[in-house]
Structure 1
Amino acid sequence: MEGKIDTLYKGFNIIKNGGLVLAGIAVFLMMAFIVLDVLLRNVFSASFPGNYEIIQRYLMPLAVFPAIAITYSSGLMPKITMFVEKLPEKVQYIINLFLLFLEMFVMILIFYYSWKYAIQGLQSGVTFPAGGKMYPLYPVLFLVPLGFALLTIELVFNIIREFLKRPFASGTTT
């Protein structure tokens, strides 16, 4: 069972790394847009039309939401389990499981409501003005539920791993 979970998790890691690459490309494009805009303004007294809006509405969400799962799994996000390390192993295990289920519940709620919002945006064809043109916003709205869906999958793998640990199943008492 543990081998199958590890194989599935390796496949999921490929998806998470893809999100990281997408976020990296978005950050690079943000830098390129900003450098281009500053260059145009200072050298040619012109500006790239809609630069700020495109960065704000497209590139910033692309830089954040696809990378949420890998950020969580790498340990960059603070976890409350850091505060329970001094407790007995059984208590740590129970608290850790409880917190994982609580986190998963919250992520599912965020996924659900952000999905509903994205669907509403798609149905109403939400757009934003940038540089005198109207650009669609609704495709970017789906990045939020996508990011939180990936984070929920990460939490499911963490819960499965915790169940496979079972520190007090061997009869140890701490």
Structure 2
Amino acid sequence: MNNFINALDKVIGLIEKICMAGSVLSVVLMMLLVTADVTGRKLFNHPIPGSVEINEEYLMVSIVYLSMSYVYVQGGHVRVTLFRRFLPGPFLKLIDPCLNIFGLFFFSLITFFGWEKTLTAMQFGETSSCILAYPLAPAYFLLTLGAALLCLRIAESIFLPAKIKWEEH
């Protein structure tokens, strides 16, 4: 069983790193697209059609959702630690798992409804409302993938708490 958990952790870690690379690539693409759009708009009076929509519907989604689980494992998500040092240890041992269970529930809902939306968008051929009319199902899938990876990592932190290292900043 322990070998299976370690193998699964490695597979999830690899998918996570690929997603993080996609997130970083999206930041670079967004920077280049915005720069080209502004340059085209200001210098040539000709913006890039659909650049705002591509940024909103694809690049922002991939930047946020593809990086969530990696950031979670690194302990990089925003946490309110101002009062933690004043709370007794037994209370923290009780509240931290409760917060993780709430997070797991919340992101499970995002995963479930994101998957439903992805399937619906594929079934009906949902496209962007901009002039390019590109398909939206891949963007919904990116959201679903990122939320599902985060659910796996939150579940891991609940059932195998020693695997996730939190740093107090």
TM-score where L is the length of structure 2: 0.81
Q: Are the counterparts in 2 of residues 100 and 155 from structure 1 also a CA contact under 8 Å?
A: yes
Distance 1:44 1:102, change over 3 A: closer
Change (3 A) 1:93 1:163: farther
What percentage of residue pairs aligned between the two structures are identical? Answer: 29
Tell me what 1:37 maps to.
37
- The structural deviation recorded for 1:5 is 4.4
Alignment check: 8 A CA contact 2:62 2:143 kept: no
- Residues 1:50 and 2:54 aligned together: no
Aligned residue number for residue 64 of structure 2: 64
Secondary structure of the 1:128 match is coil
Alpha-carbon separation, structure 2, partners of 1:36 and 1:95 = 48
Contact 1:97 1:162 in 2 (8 A): no
Paired amino acid for 2:61: P
2:110 matches 1:124: no
Match of 2:18 in 1: 18
Letter in 1 for 2:46: A
Larger Rg: 1
CA 1:104/1:82 → structure 2, altered by over 3 Å: closer, same or farther? farther
Deviations 1:67-123 (A, max 9, x none): 111122222223367644444433322222222222212221221122222222222
Equivalent position amino acid for 1:129 in 2: S
Mapped contact 2:49–2:132 kept (Cα < 8 A): no
Closer, same or farther: CA 81–113 of 1 in aligned 2, 3 Å: farther
Structure-1-length-normalised TM-score: 0.79
Offset at residue 50 of structure 1 (A) = 1.6
Aligned counterparts of 2:132 and 2:95: Cα–Cα separation in 1: 52
| Residue of structure 1 in register with 2:102 after alignment | 102
Q: Which residue number corresponds to residue 166 of structure 2? A: none
- Residue ranges of structure 2 left out of the alignment (5+ in a row): 164-169
Give 5+ residue unaligned stretches, structure 1.
165-174
Structure-2 change in CA distance of 1:43 and 1:65 (3 Å): same
Q: Secondary structure at the match of 1:45?
A: coil
Q: In 2, are the aligned partners of 1:107 and 1:151 still within 8 Å (CA)? A: yes
Give the distance between the partners of 1:83 and 1:145, measured in 2 at CA: 33
2:76 is matched with which residue? 76
Secondary structure of the corresponding residue to residue 127 of structure 1 = coil
How many residue pairs match? The answer is 163
Task: Determine the structure 1 residue equivalent to 2:158.
Answer: 159
Matches within 5 A, 1:129-144: 129-130=129-130, 132-144=131-143
Say if 1:113 and 1:82 are closer, same or farther in 2 by CA, change over 3 A: farther
Matched residues in 1 for 2:134 and 2:76: separation? 34
